[in-house]
Chains A and B, each alone.
Chain A
Amino acid sequence: DTAVSQTPKYLVTQMGNDKSIKCEQNLGHDTMYWYKQDSKKFLKIMFSYNNKELIINETVPNRFSPKSPDKAHLNLHINSLELGDSAVYFCASSQEGGQGQRQPQHFGDGTRLSIL
């Protein structure tokens, strides 16, 4: 029944490792997003994909690479993890409504990434 699901919920790993966070939405939405929430709770968009095509790519290190195998999935792969990558990462999705309007974004529960 979950609308936007992220796995894993918690991820603890060593500096230098490569890890992925998966996101799936069953809402039939056409756009998916990744956000990073830092230790001060500040939420910032990282990427968004519309129908598997990258449309927003904020200033994010190249070590972060989103991958969208289909429009229901947007995974986040992170190479060579650094201490500063510790944060909560949120996936979200939305759908274009009528007349070009976009519906609110639905968020996953977040993945807490801790780098040792």
Chain B
Amino acid sequence: AQTVTQSQPEMSVQEAETVTLSCTYDTSESDYYLFWYKQPPSRQMILVIRQEAYKQQNATENRFSVNFQKAAKSFSLKISDSQLGDAAMYFCASMNRDDKIIFGKGTRLHILP
């Protein structure tokens, strides 16, 4: 069975600092995708970053980067230079080739001014 675990229900970080959100997953597939989605209070689901399992290089999108450890089935999200607008729920998700996205329970990120 496909599972995604986010062990940190809430985290806080000082503005301009760096924070890392943890995610571990389990899948029996060899070909899958991993995502981080952001859900601000406005409730939208916004794709932050995406990683294909076959790619060894960690994905990066501006201030957002991942540490993808395939053997350990770990997919953490690093946010550098945190900004007030980064405050949101962050969901880690995995998707096998069957198209079904499985989400973690989310981590609520607070940005402290």
Interface on A for B, CB 8 Å cutoff? 31, 33, 40-45, 48, 50, 55-56, 88, 90, 92, 94, 100-102, 104-107, 109-110, 112
Contacts and interface: CB of A to CB of B under 8 A. Distances in A.
Interface of B, helix, strand, loop or mixed by DSSP: strand
Which are the 5 A-B pairs with shortest beta-carbon distances?
A: A107-B45, A43-B103, A110-B43, A41-B106, A104-B47
B89 interface: yes
Nearest to A111: B43
Contacts of A44: 103
Contacts of A45: 100-102
A92 B35 CA distance: 15
B43 A109 contact: yes
A107 B44 contact: yes
A88 B91 contact: no
A47 B20 CA distance: 32
14 contacts: A33-B101, A41-B39, A42-B106, A45-B101, A48-B100, A56-B98, A92-B45, A101-B52, A102-B33, A102-B95, A102-B97, A104-B35, A107-B44, A112-B43
A102 B105 contact: no
Contacts of A50: 99
Contacts of B46: 107
Nearest to A96: B99
Contacts of A40: 105
A112 B97 CA distance: 30
B50 interface: yes
B50 A104 contact: yes
A33 B100 CA distance: 9
